[in-house]
Copies of this chain bind each other. A is one copy, B any other.
Amino acid sequence: MKLFSRLALAIVLLAGTVFADEGMWTFDNPPTELIQQKYHFVLSKPWLDHVRLSCARLNDGGSGSFVSPHGLLLTNHHVARGQLQKSSTAEHDYIKNGFYAATPEQEMKVQDLEVNVLVSTEDVTNRIQAALKGAGAPEEEFKARQSVIAEIERVSTQKTGLRSDVITLYQGGEYWLYRYKKYTDLRIVFAPEEQAAFFGGDPDNFTYPRYDLDMALFRVYENGKPIDSSNFLKWNPKGAAENDLVFVTGHPGSTERLKTLAELSFQREYDLPIWIAVTRDRIEGLQRFSATSAEHAREAGSTIFFAQNTVKALTGELHGLENPRIVANKKADEEKFQSAVMSNPDLKAKYGTAWSDIAAAEQKAASRVKEAYYHSTDSQLSSLAVNIVEYVAEIKKPDGERLPGFHESELESLRLRLFSPAPIYPDMEIARITGALHRDINALGPDNPFLKIVLGSKAPGQAAADLVNGSKLADPQLRKSLVEGGQQAVDASTDSFIVLARKIDPLRREIIKWTQDNVESVEQRAGEQIGRARFALYGKSTYPDATFTLRLSYGQVKGYPMNGTVAPPQTTYYGLYDRAFSFGDQPPFDLPQRYRDGMKNLDLTTPLDFVSTNDVIGGNSGSPVVNKDGEIVGLIFDGNIESLVGNYVYDVESNRSVAVHTAAMTEALRKLYGAGKLVEELTGGSGGQH
């Protein structure tokens, strides 16, 4: 009894590192007790299984969920945007005008979207740690790890036919094999006008209150027919209400909550500022390009959109890292944790040097950080060429010795991307390359070896034009023939981008290897040590950093203090019209014509967007918000501005996820888009009346 209570006490004290509704939990370790204590709700295995199998990961970097038994998949418009753009032509602008397939025949096949459903998971920590026994130097261990991971993935893929990924949790504290059922035939069923999905544009992006119908519906096909998706989330047209307990089940991309102060300081001093500066410069170049014609504006729209997204997100992160309160909290946390490690002789011996090892690696990283951002031509064709040149070389090697991105388990997705028939716009390529080369020269000077190879004696504009005009790589058939022709075909190619890619290949390999040896392998090993030390001290009372794998977060629909007042738990359609007319109905606050004409049909009190305390981050876009009954009540599409620091810290007071309300989707589909048939499918024929 005495031991028991001391243990219980220790757990209470240590579990104190997770507060409030924080956490992106793995499905093997959901925070059942925390939820039971706070919300008096018991997560059951059937609930978890049902929700897991109803969720999907999109290779475009987002999440989604099945919402009908016939393969209807709900995600965000901004996740589907790339596909809508690729399907658009000068005549049919589906981004501007939206899309609705009223009949199955009208459902529009998209070009290179892949979705994955997590069907099984398996703890492979022991196997990997066994394989690392005896590995000496960090580089040796790094290689050994890559090798055993590739082997596990290969064997699993062979045995099950399922996509098999080994994922690293708790900074290497655990390794899991995740197996996915993969679908590659997706057809677009519904998307609103972008101006409805992304109302408020870049200013409102990452903020709340919001008024966006950021939704899109695909249908997943297999063998030419809609799949039978018996695992789907029942559509609840009443949606979420204030104070409701809600779950978000999706694929947060990455977080760095366990990063050390030295790593955060590298982010703050080097990585983020350079990344922001480069992306700003790219945006300016693309905006100049857009200004040259309406067609150019259409071509560049999506790229500018994502780049602006990136800048605002990175700036938010940077602000968070510059916030003295957050830095002080991190510092206190690290010092407490470090001293717990150092005061335990066993832990100290095993993990005690991790912090100083990382600090030394960050110093090295700083010495070559510019190359990571400025050895670039910012070109799609160049990326494809580099991938092809590397591909034919890498696949000749044993899986474990290949560059990242070329492991057996990654090849199918890579090929989908390499052979995508999506258009590449030559004028935009020239503009991007020219801009990138000017930028590179400014940052690195004209004597830089990379630039000497790319430019020769040419000026940037000339070099860019010659590259694009001397290449037929925009044709996916040529890319296919090069890959299939292997090393010989690639060596013989006179395509300008392939020639360039062959020339810069040694430089790329040198910096990749140097970074692996001097930075990544050290960070990974020390990070793993820190993860194990945390594991040893705290166990699984905490959650692992996000890894673009399926996670569960819980929370409550709740407003928050904002701008001296309170932000409401939800917005309504009234607010959409208010914000439009508050800005004189001018872009980016202009209403789609459908919304002007159709207003009289809408119940304007219908909730439009809402916020909850769930801990989400990029990659969660398109995740369902699920209620206690496992029904879908909302659709995550953003976090508030206060959540941008979420990469490093979950802010108990103000962190909020932002979602589209199911009532808003139901109302719009039925009353604005004439998509009553879709509502019937979603609501199982009830039409969503309530």
| CB–CB B568/A579 < 8 A | yes
Set of chain B residues within 8 Å of A571, measured between Cβ atoms: 578, 582
Give complex CA distance A568, B575 in Å.
13
| CB–CB A577/B579 < 8 A | no
Give complex CA distance A207, B565 in Å.
7
Tell me, rounded to whole Å, the shortest Cβ–Cβ distance linking A97 to chain B: 25
| CB–CB B206/A564 < 8 A | yes
* Residues in A225-263 with C-beta less than 8 Å from chain B: 242
| CB–CB A563/B207 < 8 A | yes
Which of B564, B578, B605 interacts with A572 by CB under 8 Å?
B578
Which of B562, B565, B582 interacts with A568 by CB under 8 Å?
B582
| CB–CB A574/B578 < 8 A | yes
Which of B204, B565, B582 interacts with A575 by CB under 8 Å?
B582
Set of chain B residues within 8 Å of A435, measured between Cβ atoms: none
A569 in contact (CB, < 8 A): yes
Which of B200, B574, B577 interacts with A565 by CB under 8 Å?
B200
Set of chain B residues within 8 Å of A312, measured between Cβ atoms: 564
Which of B564, B584, B605, B641 interacts with A564 by CB under 8 Å?
B641
Interface string of A646-657 (1 = CB under 8 A from B): 000000000000
A306 in contact (CB, < 8 A): no
Which of B200, B572, B581, B582 interacts with A582 by CB under 8 Å?
B572
Set of chain B residues within 8 Å of A307, measured between Cβ atoms: none
A666 in contact (CB, < 8 A): no
Set of chain B residues within 8 Å of A581, measured between Cβ atoms: 572, 574, 604-605
Set of chain B residues within 8 Å of A207, measured between Cβ atoms: 563-565
A485 in contact (CB, < 8 A): no
Which of B209, B566, B577 interacts with A203 by CB under 8 Å?
B566
Interface size on A, residues (CB 8 A): 34
A83 in contact (CB, < 8 A): no
- Among A568, A578, A583, residue most surrounded by chain B Cβ atoms (within 10 Å): A578
* Complex copy number for this chain: 2
Give complex CA distance A203, B312 in Å.
28
A570 in contact (CB, < 8 A): yes
Set of chain B residues within 8 Å of A569, measured between Cβ atoms: 582-583
Chain B: CB-nearest residue to A606? B581
Which of B206, B563, B575 interacts with A578 by CB under 8 Å?
B575
* Residues in A180-229 with C-beta less than 8 Å from chain B: 200, 203-207, 209
Give complex CA distance A61, B39 in Å.
49
Chain B: CB-nearest residue to A315? B564
Tell me, rounded to whole Å, the shortest Cβ–Cβ distance linking A659 to chain B: 14
Q: A577-B604, A604-B577 are in contact. Are A582 and B564 (CB under 8 A)?
A: no
Give complex CA distance A399, B562 in Å.
51
Set of chain B residues within 8 Å of A574, measured between Cβ atoms: 574-575, 577-578, 581, 604
| CB–CB A582/B565 < 8 A | no
Give complex CA distance A581, B607 in Å.
8
Give complex CA distance A568, B207 in Å.
14
* Residues in A546-594 with C-beta less than 8 Å from chain B: 559, 562-566, 568-572, 574-575, 577-579, 581-584, 589
Set of chain B residues within 8 Å of A564, measured between Cβ atoms: 206-207, 312, 316, 641
Set of chain B residues within 8 Å of A203, measured between Cβ atoms: 565-566
Tell me, rounded to whole Å, the shortest Cβ–Cβ distance linking A42 to chain B: 28
Give complex CA distance A583, B209 in Å.
12
Give complex CA distance A565, B308 in Å.
13
Give complex CA distance A584, B568 in Å.
9
Set of chain B residues within 8 Å of A559, measured between Cβ atoms: 583
| CB–CB B605/A565 < 8 A | no
Tell me, rounded to whole Å, the shortest Cβ–Cβ distance linking A204 to chain B: 5
* Residues in A96-112 with C-beta less than 8 Å from chain B: none
Give complex CA distance A203, B566 in Å.
6
Tell me, rounded to whole Å, the shortest Cβ–Cβ distance linking A638 to chain B: 11
Q: Which 6 A-B pairs have the closest CB atoms?
A: A575-B578, A568-B582, A564-B641, A574-B578, A574-B577, A203-B565
Chain A residues near B (Cβ < 8 Å):
200, 203-207, 209, 242, 312, 316, 559, 562-566, 568-572, 574-575, 577-579, 581-584, 589, 604-605, 641
- List 5 additional A-B contacts (Cβ < 8 Å) besides A572-B578, A574-B577: A209-B582, A312-B564, A316-B564, A572-B582, A575-B578
A–B complex contacts, Cβ < 8 Å, 23 sampled: A205-B565, A206-B564, A207-B563, A207-B564, A207-B565, A209-B582, A242-B584, A312-B564, A559-B583, A565-B641, A568-B579, A568-B582, A568-B583, A568-B589, A569-B582, A569-B583, A571-B578, A574-B574, A574-B575, A574-B581, A575-B579, A578-B578, A581-B605
